[in-house]
Amino acid sequence: MTDAPPRDNLKGGLWLIADMSLNIWALSIVKALGLGYAASQIVFLRAAVGLVLIAPLIWQHRAAFRAVPDLPFHALRVALSVVTLTASFFAIARVPLALFTAMNFTRPLVTMVMAAFLLREVIGPRRWVAAGVALVGVVIAVGPGVVAPSWGLAALGIVILAGSGAVIVTRRLRAAPEIVLMAFYTGGLVLFSAPLAAAGWVPIGPGHLLPLLLVGVFAQSAQFCFLRAHFHGEAGLLSVLSYLSLILSVTVGYAVFGEVPTPSFWLGAALVTGAALWVTIRRPASR
């Protein structure tokens, strides 16, 4: 017997759509204002707001923080997360929103490859083929004449590698309570980003403080919605539904920032998302 409620994919799907919507609002603010501020400054503000929001939960579950094991792995996860989020905020201000989203779909595949080498996980031929297809898609989506080489594109590569590394470390910490993972993540972001933010601090312009603070509100709220989505819905359905974020990104990029995806981008994005979907929705037994 279990006290867990039955799965409700409708509720789970609605929570996931709320998560994606909040994330796209946060990223849109960063894209609109990110060129005027250091990425570390925005990371610090986002984390500080998030820490304030979850402080009551941390206090409520303070007993979970007694004698926390694997502190070095928590520190490594936080460090990789700081790199990932800082590079994300740097990249999103400099590359098309749709490209940013599509390339992030490679992260499950990169994580898979890392797990094969670092965790000795067995990866079947089907998944290796999917990784190869995704790589071809990336080359087409960011090839010559599609996206100009830039520091933003390089930062996006760092996002994928560091973010995948953070997932690998999180697997090592899978026994840790969620509140501990959230607290270490958010508090660690504040601690690690504070010196960099202070060193490159730019005075916040008129009318910018509220939007920058809302990045933290939206991002932390999105994390809550994500957790609720997976509490209610089935993982397989939610994984497929998450690819709607590409449609949201293309729509917002076009309507708000005037970004028009090229045919090459669509072809590359289709290969990336198709490969990721193939790995996501097929059962491991069918490798």
- What kind and span of H or E run contains 176? none
In this prediction, residue 30 carries a pLDDT of: 95
- Residue 4: inside a domain, yes or no? no
| 272/140 Cα distance (integer angstroms) | 10
Q: Which residue has the tokens 């198709």?
A: 274
Q: Average model confidence (pLDDT) for the chain?
A: 85
Whether 2 is covered by a domain: the verdict is no
Q: Is residue 234 scored above 80 in pLDDT?
A: no
pLDDT at 280 over 80: no
User: Comparing 171 with 200, which gets the higher pLDDT?
Assistant: 200
Distance of CA 223 to the CA centre of its chain: 10
**Structural domain range at position 32:** 9-286
- Average the pLDDT over each of 15-24, 72-81, 117-126, 214-223 and give the range with the smallest value: 117-126
Residue type, 76: L
Q: Are 170 and 70 in contact (CB under 8 A)?
A: no
Q: Most confidently modeled of 52-56, 234-238, 267-271, 275-279?
A: 52-56
The two three-digit tokens of residue 82, written as one number: 């700081």
Lowest pLDDT segment from 99-113, 176-190, 207-221: 99-113
String of DSSP letters for 206-230: TTTHHHHHHHHHHHHHHHHHHHHHH
Q: Is the pLDDT assigned to residue 10 strictly greater than 90?
A: no
Closest CA to 219 of 110, 102, 81: 81
Q: Chain centroid to CA 141: how far?
A: 20
- Report CA-CA distances (Å) from 244 to 34, 76, 94, 124, 226: 24, 31, 22, 27, 14
Q: Which residues contact 41 (CB under 8 A, 6 or more apart)?
A: 197, 200, 201, 202
Q: Which of 28-32, 61-65, 79-83, 241-245 has the lowest mean pLDDT?
A: 241-245
The span from the CA of 51 to the CA of 216, in Å, is: 9
Q: Residue 286: pLDDT above 60?
A: no
Tell me: the pLDDT tens digits for 120-179?
777 778 778 888 888 888 888 776 666 677 898 899 999 999 988 888 888 788 778 888
pLDDT for 283: 47
For the residues 183-204, what does the mean pLDDT come to? 93
- Where does the pLDDT of residue 2 fall: very low under 50, low under 70, confident under 90, or very high at 90 and above? very low
Confidence band (pLDDT; 50, 70, 90) for 236? low
Q: Is the pLDDT of residue 204 over 60?
A: yes
Q: What is the pLDDT of residues 63-72, one digit of tens each?
A: 988 888 888 9
Please tell me the total count of domains within the chain.
Answer: 1
Residue 204 in any domain: the answer is yes
Quick check: helix, strand or coil at residue 106?
Answer: coil
- Domain annotation covers residue 3: no
Here the tokens at position 142 are 């960011």
Please check whether residue 278 lies inside any domain of the structure.
yes
Domain annotation covers residue 114: yes
Considering only 17-26, 195-204, 266-275, which range has the smallest mean pLDDT? 266-275
